Amino acid sequence: MSLPRIRDRIARAAERAGRAPEAITLIAVSKTQPLDRVIDVLDQGHRAFGENRVQEARSKWPALREKYGPVELHLLGPLQSNKIGKALELFDAIHSLDREKLASRIATAAQEVGRCPKLFVQVNTGREAQKAGVDPGEIDGFLKACRSVYDLPVAGLMVIPPADADPAPHFAMLREMAERNGIEGLSMGMSDDFETAIAEGATHLRVGSAIFGARQASG
């Protein structure tokens, strides 16, 4: 696969859904990829990337930003409390907000550094024990707390559907939760299901291996 081919598939899926492709952000997920592949995608003009780990992103992106100019960076993986300060310096968006303690600490740190990334709340639509995310039954209350208690604007919701399930109902569930809470962003759709996600209203696709090729290590 390659970037032009993915862009083409996104454009066609958007057309089928009667949506504007410009309303869909493609996040190229570069975690654990060799640097030459990342540079190749930068050289093709792409400027939105996703990483799973704060530390890995810190070792890679400041130098690349120096060379290539502004790059929109998205944190997709879990955020530990002790890395919040560094995450706020580096990332333009965090897709893994999933508990009040984290909301509280992000709010405090954002005050200190004077900037707050766009926040996506991760929802565990499949109620999987091993997976992060707010329980679907608690999402309305959680969003309310983010807004009223911590004064945090929530830009969107994020989901990783169960691996062996049809993703469409999970994407639809996320969209319904967003709609009833007045939230516009929908971070959903990966290499294997981004066209389905577009049909269900995705605004942010997180696509890794379909752009870069298979990852070298797990992450």
Ligand X SMILES: *Cc1c(COP(=O)(O)O)cnc(C)c1O
Q: Which is nearer to ligand X, 154 or 159 (CB)?
A: 159
Told to check if 76 binds ligand X by CB under 6 A, we report: yes
Q: Which stretch binds ligand X (CB under 6 A): 36-44, 60-68, 174-182, 203-211?
A: 203-211
3-state per-residue secondary structure call for the chain: CCHHHHHHHHHHHHHHCCCCHHHCEEEEECCCCCHHHHHHHHHCCCCEEEECCHHHHHHHHHHHHHHHCCCEEEECCCCCHHHHHHHHHHCCEEEEECCHHHHHHHHHHHHHHCCCCEEEEEECCCCCCCCCCECHHHHHHHHHHHHHCCCCCCCEEECCCCCCCCHHHHHHHHHHHHHHCCCCEEECCCCCCHHHHHHCCCCEEEECHHHHCCCCCCC
Give me the residue label for tokens 């565990």. 124
Q: Which stretch binds ligand X (CB under 6 A): 40-48, 135-143, 144-152, 202-210?
A: 202-210
Answer for which of 109, 160, 198, 199 binds ligand X (CB under 6 A) is 160
Q: What minimum distance in Å lies between the beta carbon of 202 and ligand X?
A: 12
Told to check if 178 binds ligand X by CB under 6 A, we report: no
Told to check if 2 binds ligand X by CB under 6 A, we report: no
Q: How far apart are the first and last CA of the chain?
A: 20
Q: Which stretch binds ligand X (CB under 6 A): 3-11, 41-49, 139-147, 207-215?
A: 207-215
Told to check if 32 binds ligand X by CB under 6 A, we report: no
- Torsion angle of C-alpha atoms 70, 74, 80, 82, degrees rounded to 10: 10
Told to check if 190 binds ligand X by CB under 6 A, we report: yes
Told to check if 29 binds ligand X by CB under 6 A, we report: yes
Q: What minimum distance in Å lies between the beta carbon of 68 and ligand X?
A: 21
Q: Which is nearer to ligand X, 181 or 191 (CB)?
A: 191
**Closest residue to ligand X using C-beta atoms:** 208
Nearest to 198 by CA among 8, 7, 3, 19: 19
Told to check if 170 binds ligand X by CB under 6 A, we report: no
Residues 77-106 that bind ligand X (CB under 6 A): 77
Told to check if 38 binds ligand X by CB under 6 A, we report: no
Told to check if 204 binds ligand X by CB under 6 A, we report: no
Kindly list the residues in this chain that would bind ligand X in the complex (CB under 6 A). Answer: 29, 31, 52, 76-77, 160, 190-191, 206-210
